[in-house]
Amino acid sequence: MKNKIELLSPAGDLDRLKIACLYGADAVYIGGRDYSLRANAQNFSIEEIKEGCIFAHNLGKKVYLTLNIVFHNEDIDGVYDYIKKVVDAGIDAFIVSDLFLVHYIKESFSVEVHLSTQDSTTNVESVKYLQKEGIDRVVLAREVGRDDIKKIIDETGMDIECFIHGAMCTFYSGRCVLSNYFTNRDSNRGGCAQICRFNFTLLDKPFTMAVKDLNMSYLIREMIDIGVKSLKIEGRMRSSYYLATVLSSYRTIIDNYYNGTLNNEIITRENKILSRISNRDNSTHFFDHEADITDQYYSGRWEISNQDYLGIVVDYDQKTKLCTINQRNYFKVGDTIEIFTPNRDHFLYKVEELYNEKMEKVDKANHAEETLHFYIDHDLPLYSMIRRYYE
């Protein structure tokens, strides 16, 4: 059997790195405190990168570090020392957008270099050139369709990575200048203000250029069949619950494909779960059709705050069967809740009793992030997730 395709997850901090690895990611991509396009994320210190790499490698997973800002002269100061530090911390690859870094990294260290989607690579000849320059993998522009992806893979043999889920940039593979123009925050150097999500008034009418989210759950079979090497989820700013949910669904689809058991019923079920985690509509965008009016909002949009996430398991006593959770959203005694775990165990549970931090009985969970307890005769590992159940 051919090697399984890689499922690649974002991780905005150390806790989310652990959750991503536990919930099915084969690799994670993270940002350090410098040179990363998500300056507003918590990001990783050198010590956290080291700890994250140890955790991931112990599970047989990989860690990729983003070094993908558009470098100006002042940004270069210190970058070579920084590269050495993060290599020593244990990373497996860099994701870069500026080619001046490639030769230095490849000549100095035994790590891979992946070219970021920020480079907007869309054709065979560009990929051939990048191969000669020492690039190990290309993250194609999100605007490349199925036929062109297959042509690039067939004619170059390059490892190709493609996005499968999450937010899409209105501008060509993230090359936005509006953020800088309107707010003096340079999106190409980590300061994106998400101008494309703003509501404008045009000729006295509401107008937005916002793009719908990406969801490729129905097309994973095709992406594997044409030879894509890595399936990438967007979202270093996303929550732990979001990552656990999305990774669980795509892990299920991928594993069932390789086991020969994938069918439309499984895909439909997982897509239903994925549709609830997003607060925007979604589309397959460029992979299977030319982008059109169905892929974008023009005259306003509605984003519904998702309150499905009820809590995360922080402790479970196997002797007493007492489960301790950190609560996230309202639920009450008598509710049927849904629990899913890092090992993809998945079941319903009716809340018969609920206790606060002092082990006093309460009838509802209505204080954000309070510690709660309940008894359950089911071994729950750390980071198990609890969500609202809908019949």
Q: DSSP readout, 297-353?
A: --S----PPP--EEEEEEEEETTTTEEEEEE-S-EETT-EEEEE-TT--EEEEE---
Q: Report the range of poorest mean pLDDT among 61-65, 297-301, 350-354, 386-390.
A: 297-301
Task: State the chain's mean pLDDT as an integer.
Answer: 91
Query: How confident is the model at residue 251, as a pLDDT?
Result: 97
> Residue 36 — pLDDT band, cuts 50, 70, 90?
low
The answer to whether the Cα torsion of 166, 169, 175, 180 is positive or negative is negative
Whether 140 and 121 have beta carbons less than 8 Å apart is answered as: yes
For residue 43, which of 52, 90, 6, 54 has the smallest C-alpha distance?
Answer: 52
Our CA angle for 331, 333, 335, nearest 5°, is 65
For residue 105, which of 127, 136, 69, 74 has the smallest C-alpha distance?
Answer: 136
At 309, list the tokens. Answer: 């996430």
Q: How would you classify the pairing of strands 6-10 and 27-31?
A: parallel
Tell me the β-bridge partners of 339: 347, 386
Query: How confident is the model at residue 265, as a pLDDT?
Result: 96
**What's the average model confidence in pLDDT over 147-152?**
98
One-letter amino acid identity for 271? N
At 74, list the tokens. Answer: 């002042």
Pick the CATH number of 6-295 from 3.30.1740.10, 3.40.50.10300, 3.20.20.70, 3.40.50.12780: 3.20.20.70
Distance CA 114, CA 130 (A): 10
> Residue 167 — pLDDT band, cuts 50, 70, 90?
confident
> Residue 248 — pLDDT band, cuts 50, 70, 90?
very high
Instruction: Spell out the alpha helix ranges (H) of the chain.
Output: 14-22, 46-58, 73-76, 79-89, 100-108, 124-132, 146-156, 178-183, 220-225, 240-259, 264-277
- Within the chain, all domains assigned CATH 2.40.30.10 are found at 309-388
Distance CA 24, CA 345 (A): 13
At 369, list the tokens. Answer: 């992030």
Place of tokens 């800002």: 69
Query: How confident is the model at residue 286, as a pLDDT?
Result: 87
pLDDT at 139 over 80: yes
Class for the domain spanning 309-388: mainly beta
**What's the average model confidence in pLDDT over 227-243?**
94
- Within the chain, all domains assigned CATH 3.20.20.70 are found at 6-295
What does the radius of gyration of the chain's CA atoms come to, in whole angstroms? 22
> Residue 190 — pLDDT band, cuts 50, 70, 90?
low
- How far is CA 364 from its chain centroid? 32
Q: Report the range of poorest mean pLDDT among 120-124, 149-153, 295-299.
A: 295-299
pLDDT at 74 over 60: yes
**What's the average model confidence in pLDDT over 149-161?**
98
At 61, list the tokens. Answer: 């997973």
b/e for 211-227, b at 16 or more Cβ within 10 A?
Answer: bbbbbbbeebeebbebb
**What's the average model confidence in pLDDT over 168-197?**
73
> Residue 282 — pLDDT band, cuts 50, 70, 90?
confident
